[in-house]
Structure 1
Amino acid sequence: MTARKLSISVPPEVEATIKAAAAEEGKPVSAWLAEAAVEKAQIARLHAQGRAAARELVAEYESKHGKLPEESRQRVRQFIIKAGLLDNEP
């Protein structure tokens, strides 16, 4: 596999954290960062899929039973926020 060079800028405390974590796992910093980036991308993809599934379920419910009551909609929203699938934004 060929590798491409990237240049990133991080605050000194983040640099120290990265280097310590890579050393703890016995990996070069570049390998550790690449793995962390892949993990972050996978998590973001799963969260997007979770949000899409939640929207689909609500739409399916509403197509059969009418608009979801606002109280129920807010409970669903709070559950999704607690599950880490959505930021607490309007």
Structure 2
Amino acid sequence: MTARKLSISVSPEVEETIKAAAEEEGKSVSAWLAEAAVEKARLAALHAAGRAAARELVTEYESEHGALPEQSRRRAREFLMEAGLLDDDDWRAAG
């Protein structure tokens, strides 16, 4: 595998956190950051797939039963936000 060099800027606190975590796992900073980035991307893809599946379910439900009442949408949004699966930016982007 060919490695590519990247340059990043972080605060001193973040630098220390990264170094400590890498050392704890017996990895180089580069290896630890690469694994962290891949995991972050994997989780983002899972969240996106979950949101897409939820939109599909709502669309299917609404095509059979009509539009969900606004109160139900609001309760669902609150639940998803409390569960950490949605933030205000996600909700605004969904329209």
TM-score clears 0.5: yes
8 Å CA contact 1:22–1:28 kept in 2: the answer is yes
What percent of counterpart residues are identical?
77
How many Å separate the matches in 1 of 2:28 and 2:84?
A: 30
User: How far apart, in 1, do the equivalents of 2:5 and 2:39 lie?
Assistant: 19
1:82 and 1:49 mapped to 2: Cα distance? 19
State the aligned residue count. Answer: 90
Instruction: Give the gaps of 5 or more residues in structure 2.
Output: none
SS at match of 1:41: helix
Matches within 5 A, 1:1-90: 1-89=1-89, 90=92
Moved more, 53-62 or 74-83: 74-83
Deviations 1:13-56 (A, max 9, x none): 00000000000000000000000000000010011111111111
Q: Distance in 2 between matches of 1:11 and 1:82?
A: 29
Which 4+ runs in 1 deviate beyond 6 A?
Answer: none
RMSD of aligned residue pairs (Cα, Å) = 1.1
TM-score, with normalisation over the residues of structure 2? Answer: 0.88
Provide the rounded CA distance (Å) in 1 between the counterparts of 2:43 and 2:60: 25
Matched residue SS, 1:4? coil
